[in-house]
Amino acid sequence: MDTSVLLSTGSTAVIASILLQALKNSKAISFLGDGDQHANANRIVAALLAGISSLGIHFAYDVNAGTLVVTGLHAANIGHVLWQWVTQYAVQHLFYKSSIVPVELAVKNGQLLHQLLEIQRTQHQAIMNGYNRVTQAGPGTGPKAA
């Protein structure tokens, strides 16, 4: 495989994955996000990003002449584009799952750990407050044994 193709596919996969994550975190785009309810929309947008990055259609605009030249629109290019689209999506998905998802999980795990520690601290304080009330009341003031 040509090194430039590998670098191109890899770099556009990284850019597309970061763009998808930014779109998911954006408040303006509500149909993307974390969780099962957003999974299908996330996949569709990821596939569209992969398709856009693998089209192979180029354009050039000449301001002075006022012309727009579009190249790469021929039938032989269709098979190549479809293959590149699938390859791009696979590389993009691999990068996303190996680089971005672990960071998201680490953040969520940290938040969960903080919540659990706060619950434990609150319960410990409640137990200690109950113990202090019993010990301050003195002997014989607790419940009577049968």
Q: What is the pLDDT of residues 60-111, one digit of tens each?
A: 888 899 898 877 777 777 777 788 888 888 888 888 888 877 777 787 788 8
Query: Is residue 89 one of the residues assigned to a domain?
Result: yes
- Tell whether the model's pLDDT for residue 47 goes beyond 80: yes
Question: Which pLDDT score, from 0 to 100, does residue 3 have?
Answer: 56
Contact 54, 88 (CB under 8 A): yes
User: Among candidates 10, 36, 35, which has minimal Cα distance to 98?
Assistant: 10
Query: Is residue 46 one of the residues assigned to a domain?
Result: yes
Residue range 14-35: mean pLDDT, rounded: 80
- Tell whether the model's pLDDT for residue 137 goes beyond 70: no
- The rounded distance, in Å, linking the Cα atoms of 41 and 39 is 6
Residue range 37-45: mean pLDDT, rounded: 83
Query: Is residue 11 one of the residues assigned to a domain?
Result: yes
More confident residue, 76 or 135: 76
Domain tally, the chain: 1
Residue 95 sits at φ, ψ, to 5 deg, of -65, -45
Query: Is residue 20 one of the residues assigned to a domain?
Result: yes
Query: Is residue 114 one of the residues assigned to a domain?
Result: no
- Tell whether the model's pLDDT for residue 10 goes beyond 70: no
More confident residue, 13 or 57: 13
Query: Is residue 140 one of the residues assigned to a domain?
Result: no
* Residue type at position 2: D
